[in-house]
Structure 1
Amino acid sequence: MDETSRVSDQEALLFHAQGKPGKIEITPTKPLITQRDLSLAYSPGVAVPCLAIAEDPERAYDFTAKGNLVAVISNGSAVLGLGNLGAVASKPVMEGKAVLFKRFADVDGIDLEVDSQDVDEIVNCVRFLGASFGGINLEDIKAPECFIIEQRLREEMSIPVFHDDQHGTAIIAMAGLINALDLTGRDLKSIRMVVNGAGAAGIACAELVKAMGVPHENVVLCDSRGVIYQDREDGMNQWKSAHAVATESRVLADAMKGADVFFGLSMKGALTPEMVADMADKPIIFAMANPDPEITPEEVAAVRDDAIMATGRSDYPNQVNNVLGFPYIFRGALDVRATTINDDMKIAAAEALAALAREDVPDEVAAAYPGERQHYGPDYIIPAPFDPRLISDIPPAVAQAAMDSGVARRPIFDLEGYRNQLRARLDPIAGPLQGIFDRVRAEPRRVVFAEGEEERVIRAAVAFGQAGYGLPILVGKSDVIHGVMDSLGLGQPPGIEIVDPATSERGEAYTDFLYRRLQRRGVLQRDCRRMVSVFRTVFAACMVAQNDAHAMIAGLTRSYTEVYEDIRSVLDPKPGYRP
């Protein structure tokens, strides 16, 4: 395990006890400094919104925090992998969930620990308290009670109810599966899949992959007693029965023969190297048991060199981490006041996550994860949790799906404006900068990047083009630049121009221009020709001088003085300005 991830019991206890105990507090959003403030915040002023809400309950979204408030609810019957610890012992986890809601999506979460193991009592408790919240996140409730509780609450409440242990895991795993299939040249309708573990997460995964197109008969669900096949009676319930298939396989080892995909949501050691060896070519193995996976990447690598793996751990590539899902799913659902979180919204979230992993990885992510820079490929099929684009990519996809499926009560008509608002939620300078960005997009420019063969320059140019700021022009050898792009997993992004000074059709014109400027300094024409064809900063400056580009960027690989002297040989400073 990565040493930075290792913590002692004493460290964990101290972290939760130091300062104010716990991890959350309530902070007011209105000033409370003067007597007038007090009169507005409480009596008598507070009576006015009360009357308005009594007349129209929907006004609660306008005058209270309801629209941004999610209840994180557990009875402690399945806390992490620790079992039934009881309601109060689950509180540190529920507080942690509330912190993640706030940190990643600016959603306010309040933890409610229900001290009951009775389904009816839990349902009634949540239902009666539901008027306070914009959404309900169920957590760490054991199966099969979790299925019953979620289903009943979804039927009886008109706000989103989401059991993250089920659907969060399924959505993130599905995002990874989409990309693993892309990398191995498969499609959902043709794969054979084994899901090991028939608890909350396992059944949710089976349901979601079928909703996305995998045929029912192509998914074999297994539990601790073996394959769930038609007419099996031992250890069955209605949720398992829904996934029973006609098969001769009776144990996991039988089901794994020739399988394309394995989803593990069970226990350490459930999958053996021998089973992996029996899988189809280019197997996809998601061993998601925590804290120890069904099989480790090292064990898989010992028998297969063509496998794509994901686990639930942060010290291996492709972590299936629910924090990639629930904050952003609720953000999108709350912002359109969705009445539920349906399959369309889950699929939209999975597809948006998969698409994000295929994009270039920004510098913020590279800084958060030291080591080799990540890019789309077998070791990077799921976005990193600290990718700043998650907040602006996932909620709009969820919101759009809610609107398309008819469960949104407050549609969003300007999705681009919504994305900008989402960025500003977590970045205080995003709002002011957005006005500048919009003006730049309104008048896109041709910008030449002089050191066009450098990895960081290529990434910047791609980001510049994808943001819609203008046309990036890379100066360098085409084969070198394309080779770097391929090594970064960028492919051949559209909207980028590559210019090689040694072969450019404009080289002669630039040479003549430069010679006219420098001949009185004793510079020969052949010297100018060499400067244009060899010195990329000179070539880029000539592009600006001859109106082939509006601006240039240089200075990554050479000193300021060297770059400035090259540019000064081509361009003069603007009168009245000092460089």
Structure 2
Amino acid sequence: MVSLTPNPSYSLTLRIKLPNQVSQLAVVIEAIAKAEGNLGNIDVVEKSREYIIREISVDAASTAAANNIEAAVRALSNIEVLSVRDRTFALHQGGKLRVEAKIPLREQDDLAMAYTPGVGRVCVEIANHPERVYDLTIKGNTVAIVSDGSAVLGLGNLGAEGSMPVMEGKAMLFKEFAGLDAFPICLATQDTEEIIETVKRIAPVFGAVNLEDISAPRCFEIEQRLQAELDIPIFHDDQHGTAIVSLAALTNALKLVNKKIETIRLVINGAGAAGLSMGRLFQQAGVKNLIICDSKGVISRDRTDLTATKREFATPHPGTLADAMVGADVFMGVSAPGVVTVEMVESMADQPIVFAMANPVPEIQPELVKGIVAVMATGRSDYPNQINNVLAFPGVIRGAVDCRAQEITTEMFLAAGKAIAALIPDTEISANNIMPSVFDRRVSPAVSAAVQEVARAAGIAKK
């Protein structure tokens, strides 16, 4: 199996004390390299005639690899390891968010306007004209990120507290890429009715709700009922964000291989929130030959274990994932690491497109199918063509909030995917360039504009 690439998510900072002699640093660097560490910054902290204290940043491929790197350095003679800091844990120390006031309180007048007695006038204005809550409070720029921690990343049911770091990170992305103030709402319940009731009760504060890491099939009912019962947009990113960015990537990949979306055979492995939502959106985009597989194989009509949402995609012919991939033009994985073999990819149609989006380990390592696939994409940042939801959800919510859309529709999802794909001109599309960078500052405004245009045309925008 191809080893994982060292990356910043498993990075260390080693503070070491070594003799101030020629070649001592080289010995440390050699030990790190032999332990398969990827060297980062090297800084001098303290220096004397006898010794030097340095801080060395190193990327590893896993927790075990990081431990091996530390052990390799500790084993060196004349080298003292003073401390080891996990950079990812250090970044999370104390949380990643804080609340700050927009208006400084410097004198009595400021206090009288921001709080009592002046604030009372604003309260009465909103009570008399409820729509003004968007202009006179945080509601018009604030998003609730709601999770019950039941399906956190690919890690499973970690509970409310275990989901908090992800929701904090999500809030950072909303702020950075869309200027939205988002706040984690991690609920101490996994009961569908309690989640729905809780979100309804806190909804007056927020301009939109982003559902996150709620397991299927409960997530489908929760989103549908909240959207039916509230007049603010509800967006389940695990479903729709993944579907939007996958559609954008598919749009440009098909241009490269000169195939039409209406004629391709597309196989999705993974029938959770992401896989089923992708299936729905792809069908709306024109895909006619679609096969979805779960851990038991093809979702077929002869199976008696299917949920109602899976039955929507049941096909006449049973089989395994390997069976489904024979002759397929496109494979998309939102499932588990290593479930696809080289032989399965070789059995696909000419110029196969493979999106292996399981994280952190994809369904098949890109190195294994180099020269076999026409286009390869993953969910990882250390390979070309990263398919990342951050290309979608900030702009989608920004657009929905700005036009005060009452809901986010399939047509808005399609428009968002088209807007993302269009940021790569046809002349620049290549096997390693089908998606804009997550740091491309054009993305969120383009998606927002596309979403607003569709919302206004459909008559669901209040502004």
State whether residues 346 and 372 of structure 2, in contact with CA within 8 Å, keep that contact through their aligned partners in structure 1: no
Aligned partner letter, 1:276: V
Measured against aligned partners, the alpha-carbon deviations of 1:471-520 in whole angstroms (never above 9, x if no partner) come to: xxxxxxxxxxxxxxxxxxxxxxxxxxxxxxxxxxxxxxxxxxxxxxxxxx
Tell me the CA shift for residue 273 of structure 1.
0.9
Cα distance, 1:376 vs structure 2 = 2.4
Name the counterpart of 2:298.
227
Task: Give the one of 11, 23, 30 matched to 1:7.
Answer: 11
Q: Which residue of 1 aligns with 2:441?
A: 388
Q: Which one of 308, 311, 315 corresponds to residue 245 of structure 1? A: 315
Question: Contact 2:7/2:382 (CA < 8 Å) preserved in 1?
Answer: no
* Structure having the larger proportion of residues in helix: 1
Aligned to 2:355: 286
Asked if 1:309 corresponds to 2:376, the answer is yes
Unaligned runs of 5+ residues in structure 1 are 361-374, 411-579
Query: Equivalent residue for 1:478?
Result: none
Task: Write the distance in 2 (CA, Å) between the matches of 1:178 and 1:246.
Answer: 27
Q: Which amino acid aligns with 2:389?
A: N
Q: Which residue of 2 aligns with 1:157?
A: 230
The match for 2:277 among 200, 204, 220 is 204
Residues 50-75 of structure 1, C-alpha deviation per residue, up to 9 Å, x if partnerless?
A: 11111121110111110110001111
- Larger relative strand fraction: 2
Q: What value does the CA root-mean-square deviation take over the aligned residues?
A: 1.4
User: What secondary structure sits across from 1:285 in the alignment?
Assistant: strand
Structure 2 residue 267 is the aligned partner of structure 1 residue 267: no
Q: CA deviation digits over 1:399-449, x for unaligned, max 9?
A: 111112221110xxxxxxxxxxxxxxxxxxxxxxxxxxxxxxxxxxxxxxx
Q: Which amino acid is the alignment partner of residue 111 of structure 1?
A: P
Say which one has the larger Rg.
1
Identity among equivalent positions (%) equals 51
Residue by residue over 1:495-551, the C-alpha shift from the partner in whole angstroms, topping out at 9 and shown as x without a partner, is xxxxxxxxxxxxxxxxxxxxxxxxxxxxxxxxxxxxxxxxxxxxxxxxxxxxxxxxx
Alignment partner of 1:335 is 2:405: no
Relative to structure 1, is the Cα distance of residues 54 and 198 closer, same or farther in structure 2, using a 3 angstrom cutoff?
Answer: same
Which structure carries more relative contact order (alpha carbon 8 Å, separation 6+)?
Answer: 2
Q: Distance in 1 between matches of 2:350 and 2:457?
A: 38
The residue aligned with 1:79 is 152
Q: Kindly tell me the number of residue pairs found equivalent between the two proteins.
A: 387
Return the alpha-carbon distance in structure 2 between the equivalents of residues 276 and 15 of structure 1: 39
Q: Does 1:377 align with 2:430?
A: yes
C-alpha distance in 2 between matches for 1:136 and 1:32 = 31
Deviations 1:142-176 (A, max 9, x none): 11111111111111111111111111111111100
CA contact (8 A) 1:286 1:310 kept: yes
Partner letter of residue 364 of structure 2? I
Give the partner amino acid of 2:290.
Answer: V
Q: Give the secondary structure class of the aligned counterpart of 1:220.
A: strand
Which residue does 2:412 correspond to in 1? Answer: 345
* 1:494-513 map, 5 Å: none
Report the TM-score when normalising by structure 2: 0.81
What residue in structure 1 maps to residue 450 of structure 2? 397
- Is structure 2 residue 206 aligned with structure 1 residue 133? yes
Contact 2:147/2:214 (<8 A) preserved: yes
SS of 1:7's partner is strand
Q: Aligned AA for 1:356?
A: L
SS at match of 2:328: coil
Q: Distance in 1 between matches of 2:395 and 2:182?
A: 13
Partner of 2:135: 62
**C-alpha deviation, 1:378, in angstroms:** 1.1
The aligned residue for residue 297 of structure 1 is: 366
Quote how far apart the aligned CAs of 1:244 are.
0.8
Q: One-letter code of the match for 1:99?
A: M
- 1:368-397 deviations in Å (ceiling 9; x for gaps): xxxxxxx52111101101112123322111
Aligned partner letter, 2:157: N
Q: Secondary structure at the match of 1:221?
A: strand
Report if aligned partners of 2:234, 2:407 keep a CA contact under 8 Å in 1.
Answer: yes
Query: Does the aligned pair in 2 maintain the 1:2–1:315 contact within 8 Å?
Result: no
In structure 1, what is the equivalent of residue 460 of structure 2?
407
Give per-residue Cα distances to partners, 1:90-124, cap 9 Å, x unaligned.
Answer: 11111111011001110000111100011100110
State the SS of the aligned residue for 1:72.
strand
| Structure 2: distance between partners of 1:198 and 1:277 | 23
Contact 1:286-1:309 within 8 A present in 2 as well: yes
Letter in 2 for 1:339: Q
- The residue aligned with 1:369 is none
Segments of structure 2 that go 5 or more residues without pairing to the other structure are: 13-62, 64-85
2:395 aligned with 1:324: no
Q: Could you say which residue in structure 2 is the equivalent of 1:90?
A: 163
- SS of 1:121's partner is helix
Return the offset for 1:2: 5.2
Structure 1: which amino acid aligns with 2:407?
A: T
CA distance in 1, matches of 2:411, 2:6: 37
Distance 2:279 2:313 in 1: 8
Deviation of the 1:307 alpha carbon: 2.1
Counterpart amino acid of residue 131 in structure 1: P
- How do 1:385-464 and structure 2 match up within 5 A? 385-410=438-463
The one-letter code of the counterpart of 1:64 is T
1:299: Cα distance to partner?
1.2
Structure 2 equivalent of residue 484 of structure 1? none
Aligned residue in 2 for 1:145: 218
State whether residues 300 and 307 of structure 1, in contact with CA within 8 Å, keep that contact through their aligned partners in structure 2: no
Matches of 2:194 and 2:287 in 1, distance apart? 37
Q: Which amino acid aligns with 1:275?
A: M
Contact 1:195 1:221 in 2 (8 A): yes
State the match for 1:183 in structure 2: 256
Q: Which amino acid aligns with 1:309?
A: M
